[in-house]
Amino acid sequence: MKRLLEEFRKLPDYRKNKVAYTNPSEILFLSLLAVMSGANSFEDMALWMKERKRDIAKLLERPFKSPAYTTIRNAYNGMDSKAVERLQREWVEGLNNNTQDLTIVSSDGKTMRGSKSKAMNEKARHIVSLFLADNKLTLTQNQVEDKSNEIPALIALLDNLNLKNCVITMDAMHTQKKH
What are the pLDDT tens digits along the chain (179 aa)?
777 788 888 887 777 666 666 788 888 899 989 988 888 999 999 999 999 999 999 988 888 888 899 988 988 888 888 888 788 777 766 665 555 566 788 888 887 777 776 666 777 778 888 887 777 777 778 888 766 677 888 888 887 777 777 788 887 777 777 66
Query: Is 156 within 8 Å of 140 (Cβ atoms)?
Result: no
Q: Give how far Cα 148 sits from Cα of 7, 67, 120, Å.
A: 36, 42, 23
Distance between CA atoms of residues 178 and 175, nearest Å: 9
- pLDDT at 21 (0 to 100): 65
φ, ψ at 116 (rounded to 5°) = -80, 140
Q: What predicted TM-score, i.e. pTM, was given to this entire model?
A: 0.58
Distance between CA atoms of residues 119 and 115, nearest Å: 12
N residues, the chain: 179
- pLDDT at 84 (0 to 100): 83
**Listed residue (103, 93, 99, 75) closest to 12, CA to CA:** 75
- Kindly tell me the sign of the dihedral angle through the C-alpha atoms of 46, 48, 49, 54: positive
- pLDDT at 173 (0 to 100): 75
